[in-house]
C-alpha cells in the first residue's frame, strides 16, 4: 500500500502536487469510489484506479535479490542522511519501483528481497507463514553446548521468549567462532540480541537464505532478477499455508 498521489506520479500521469489537486477535485476513483482525502492509500498492483474515468495501467511486478552491504540503511530514505536503499536504487535507475521485504540492520549484510508485489511481501513478512532465514554469524567467542541448547529451546529477551532456533558451530577460530543460525521470527535485531543475551558480541552477520531464495555468489552491492522458478516458489508458500491451516502452527515472529 502507498499514497495515491505517489502511484499517479509514478505512472507518469502528473507530478505529485498535481496528483494531489486531482484527488481534492474528486477526479480520482479507487475501486469505483471517489477519493478526495490526501494521504489515502491504494495498492497499484491490485486496486482499480481511475482518473477522469480512465483506468491507469497497473505496474509490472518486479522481483530482485539484492546483496545488502554493511553500512546501508534498509529503507528508501533516511532523515539522518545515512546511506540508504533509496539512494542506492536511484543510482541504479530503479528508485520507486521496488521496496524491501523485511530488514537488515545497518551493520548486517546479505540477502534482501526487493519487490513491488505488496501481497507477496505481506505474506513473507507475516509470522503465520513461518518463512525461515539462515544467517552466518561471527561472534566474539565460541558458545558452550549449554548456551547452544538455550538458543535451540528459545531464549528470553526484553520483548519475550524467542521461538526455538536451529544453531550449529561451523568453525572455531583462535578466540572467536562462526555459526549458522536459522530462525523464522521477524523481531528487530533478533539474532544479535540472542547472542547479546548470552554475553557475546556479534562481529559479522550475513543472511544467506530466506525461504527458497539463496544468496549464492552474488557480491555485496549486486542484485539480480529472480528466476520464474524462484518467484513460483515464493508464491507457493502462501498456498501451502492455506492448505495446512488448522493442521499445524508456526512460532511467532522471525
* Residues whose CB falls within 8 Å of the CB of residue 134, separated by 6 or more in sequence, listed in order: 180, 181, 182, 207, 208, 209, 210
- Tens digits of per-residue pLDDT, 54-87? 999 877 788 999 999 999 999 888 889 899 998 8
Domain of 159: which CATH number? Answer: 3.30.70.1560
pLDDT of residue 247: 45
**Hey, which residues does 245 pair with through a beta bridge?**
248
Report the alpha-carbon angle 116-120-125, nearest 5.
Answer: 105
Number of domains in the chain: 2
Q: DSSP of 19-78, one letter per residue?
A: HHHHHHTT-EEETTEE--STT-EE-TTTS-EEETTEEPPPPPP-EEEEEEPSS-BSSS--
- Tens digits of per-residue pLDDT, 24-63? 999 999 999 999 999 899 988 889 999 999 999 877 788 9
Whether residue 141 lies inside any domain: the answer is: yes
Whether residue 63 lies inside any domain: the answer is: no
* 245 DSSP assignment: B
Whether residue 50 lies inside any domain: the answer is: yes
Residue positions annotated with a catalytic role: 105
Whether residue 194 lies inside any domain: the answer is: yes
Domain of 34: which CATH number? Answer: 3.10.290.10
- pLDDT over 70 at 123, yes or no: yes
pLDDT of residue 182: 97
User: Residue 24 sits in which domain range?
Assistant: 2-55
- Tens digits of per-residue pLDDT, 82-115? 999 988 888 777 655 788 888 899 999 999 999 8
* 33 DSSP assignment: E
- Tens digits of per-residue pLDDT, 139-176? 999 999 999 999 999 999 999 999 999 999 999 998 99
The predicted model gives 129-140 an average pLDDT of 94
pLDDT of residue 73: 93
Whether residue 145 lies inside any domain: the answer is: yes
pLDDT of residue 124: 86
Amino acid at each position: 500500500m502507498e499514497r495515491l498521489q505517489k502511484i499517479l506520479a509514478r505512472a507518469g500521469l502528473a507530478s505529485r502536487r498535481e496528483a494531489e489537486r486531482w484527488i481534492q477535485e474528486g477526479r480520482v476513483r479507487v475501486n469505483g469510489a471517489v477519493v478526495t482525502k490526501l494521504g489515502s492509500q491504494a495498492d497499484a498492483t491490485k486496486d482499480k484506479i481511475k482518473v477522469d474515468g480512465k483506468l491507469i495501467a497497473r505496474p509490472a511486478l518486479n522481483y530482485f535479490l539484492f546483496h545488502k552491504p554493511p553500512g546501508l540503511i534498509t529503507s528508501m530514505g533516511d532523515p539522518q542522511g545515512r546511506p540508504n536503499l533509496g539512494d542506492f536504487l536511484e543510482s541504479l535507475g530503479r528508485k520507486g519501483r521496488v521496496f524491501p521485504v523485511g530488514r537488515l540492520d545497518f551493520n548486517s549484510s546479505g540477502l534482501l528481497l526487493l519487490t513491488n508485489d505488496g501481497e507477496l511481501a505481506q505474506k513473507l513478512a507475516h509470522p503465520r507463514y513461518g518463512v525461515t532465514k539462515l544467517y552466518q554469524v561471527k561472534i566474539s567467542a565460541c558458545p558452550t553446548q549449554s548456551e547452544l541448547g538455550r538458543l535451540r529451546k528459545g531464549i528470553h529477551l526484553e520483548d519475550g521468549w524467542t521461538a526455538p532456533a536451529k544453531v550449529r558451530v561451523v568453525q572455531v577460530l583462535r578466540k572467536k567462532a562462526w555459526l549458522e543460525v536459522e530462525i523464522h521470527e521477524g523481531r528487530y535485531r533478533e539474532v544479535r540480541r540472542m547472542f547479546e543475551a548470552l554475553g557475546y558480541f556479534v562481529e559479522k552477520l550475513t543472511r544467506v537464505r530466506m525461504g527458497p531464495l539463496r544468496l549464492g555468489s552474488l557480491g555485496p552491492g549486486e542484485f539480480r532478477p529472480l528466476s520464474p522458478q524462484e518467484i513460483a516458489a515464493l508464491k507457493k508458500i502462501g498456498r501451502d499455508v492455506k492448505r495446512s491451516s488448522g493442521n499445524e502452527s508456526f512460532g511467532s515472529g522471525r
